[in-house]
Structure 1
């Protein structure tokens, strides 16, 4: 064996490793460092940007809050709340105050006022205001905040607008998304609640502030409340609302908890292949958080481009190494592929393939040893196969030879009974049937079709009907699509014979035997034999079921039951097992019927 080839293999491996590892290490380190620098720069810039946006949103909420104080700036407003049912001047002044609030905030969609003192509800909306008498405020407007400990002012997160129980101005006017500021109006300085004011705000200002924070084609922006519900979501091509609600919720709640009530939470985290930068407003009325989502492909675009440039240079270098490697190693891989082709042919069953490899390297030596091994295996297989065929043939003949004496004894006893009655013509007919059965049982074939087995069983039952007369009923029902299935010869008769051996003579009244067959959807043939004879005792039935299992059939013969009682069932089961294809073992099960009777089911694979 030449060592040149082994050294060449090691040299090729060394060349590839020495070239590839440094290049990959350089590319990886460059990508990681660039990625970290971009992350830090993006986080710092977006934190400054989102902080400015949070300041603008705080100012916006404060402006709406200050505008709602107009109900206290008008000295007559609180007195007019109690007069408005019948005082039209008071009603006009209330309208004027509400219109002042609406004018002060450009995003006001509608205003709702309910007076607890006068039981009156007022809605300021286009095209004209509405007023009606109500004993209590519209339920959604208070949200259960009616106790003295509740805040005087709060903000409801984004929701669809409604008309507060008033009839809609137009059926075609769809609801829109709004946020609502609620203010409880009290008779200051007392704590008596005079009414409640609700201001529905469009999302225009929030959308305008948020639009400056992100690139819709690459990023996404959210404004969420303290329950992680989406107040505003930018119109972006980037998806991720579900991820923000589910995966990022824990991170945001933890950040808010760490920040406490004295300061606002801000920071960033990575989740779901994106970077999230967030800033809490810190408003005591609107506990909102601005969250900006930057996908990794956007955040690390520059790093990816640089990495690809380095990768192209590395690929060019690797191509040169690969060409040299292939040139050197082709004489090694060629014989190896040829040997693999030989192995595939052997795997397909062609065990006598001629292996021809004459190279002097390790592959050539391996091929020659492999060829010697296959010659040895073929000789062993041929010898074992012949022994197995001879053994299997001897077993089948021995098993069938056990059935013939038992079968002849029962049949001749029935014909002898008829001969004593001096019915010579009938005896001739029965002897003809018997001759057909004997000719069938002495055939050299070990496998027959179910059609032939069924005909043999019919002849056997015809002889038994002569013996029992009207005391025996027979029903045969073989499905047409099962008759061509193959099975061991002399399978059905021993199973039928058990009834006449153990149940017919002690059966009170009329005996009945039913034999049927059917094909299952998975190509198995099921043959069912039923009789109305006496049930098998439970202990005896358990013993039979135990030794009918395949494992019991292959155990020591000393473990088997009495020869005279088990010859039929045991021989049938063994022949079914011997004639079953690999992986599709036939089964034979036996059980009792209610209230009396025995059922035997044979299942064998029908094949394609």
Structure 2
């Protein structure tokens, strides 16, 4: 087998491809499985921690509602507010505190202190304990001064009451301290402290992690431990390098990796506490499932390798056969047989490629036929242009004879008009000359305007402001007259007097000629004005020849066919557009094309609307002060 054959290359590459990928796949699979397992573990734990967060929020909500019993019991609060101190008040206070204790099964005891009567009440195991003429328990009072606070986990105390054999042993609790205000003022009537057993948290957290393998922490906004499996950490600042202020910020959640462990955290926000729930998962615990998955994948990869090697030869032959057939078709097309019947037997990618190649050849053949038709149409248009090129000597001589007859009959005005027509005829006789001076162009336009003035009974005025230094500039022949003609074809309002046509020329820059034709006619619709400017800009991008005399205004030049009068008429707002008056009318796009071909420098033509109505055509032509 020769190496330059695709079949040889395919077999060799496929055999290599069955060895290198297999070995690398084992490593990649291990990494991918680990990453997938890590991502899956993170997602599962995020959902688990999220559920635990809501359970803890519900517990804090219930605790908050229980502490509000002092306000929701209207009769008790009014008596407390007015400073009542009798047996009935004592009974009401005990009833309210007993309701608090029984509202949650994990409430250990409830402590209340009344500032006005200096009395402390402690309800533990539904039994009341009172202390008269005493100060508030100092730790509780210190927390209450800061508003509603939850004291981090600690071993329960008796709030300064003498120990009793009836009390149960001290247990880990966290305490809600709430000052009692004389609402709506901020005057303190007393304080309330509710001890909640740590079991209220542990019953929820035990379902969130695997003990002895993972760790779970609940810390408050100050970094103190509310819950941890290690009881020595309870109530103390959590001294962990991964703990940061950002982690303790409210309304945060997410995950991070630190010291070969994954961490998932959720913030727990409630009116009485801002906690952060953090779960730590060592990677060594996660890799147990990954290693088992790796062994299973290695067995599958070994089997797959054998199957791939066995299928390599069959695949290479199956793929290369239709490719070789397609190459034979290409050789026939290269030899000139364009109508090759390309047979496609397969429906795979090679078959699709063969179908696309067949469709491409059909498109190419159609384009060749279309190109022949376009070439034929261009020849026809050139023939029509040549037919319109007949020199008007006969018409010029006839006009001279008619003018002489007009003078004999004492009609000088008719003679003047005939002279203007003859002047225009003579100007158009020089078909072999494609350029003219601006003076010749202006004279030609003056003759044209003289005839139009007679036709429209002087319904318009002409204002010419021509810089004398610009008259010697050479420009393409028939540049001004087509632009002026557009005013009479599309812009002149024949029903009213006061039409204005202003023609100016000046130096826009030392080497740039500016020609402007402005009228106060109907104007052009904004959308159609934009369309016409786009066409003029497109005409201005025509490749410029190195010599300006290469292509100019020549009747037999296909470039003169670039613009259609019918297309220009559709751009004007006036619906009563007159029919064509001259087959020699040159469109604006044609003028722009000839200006571009005239000079080796860029030329531009811009149409603008004139307020309140009218149109301005501005030409910029870089001529370098060329003269005759």
**TM-score bracket for this pair, using the shorter chain length:** 0.3 to 0.5
TM-score by length of 2: 0.41
Structure richer in helix, relative to its length: 1
TM-score by length of 1: 0.42
Q: Which has the larger radius of gyration?
A: 2
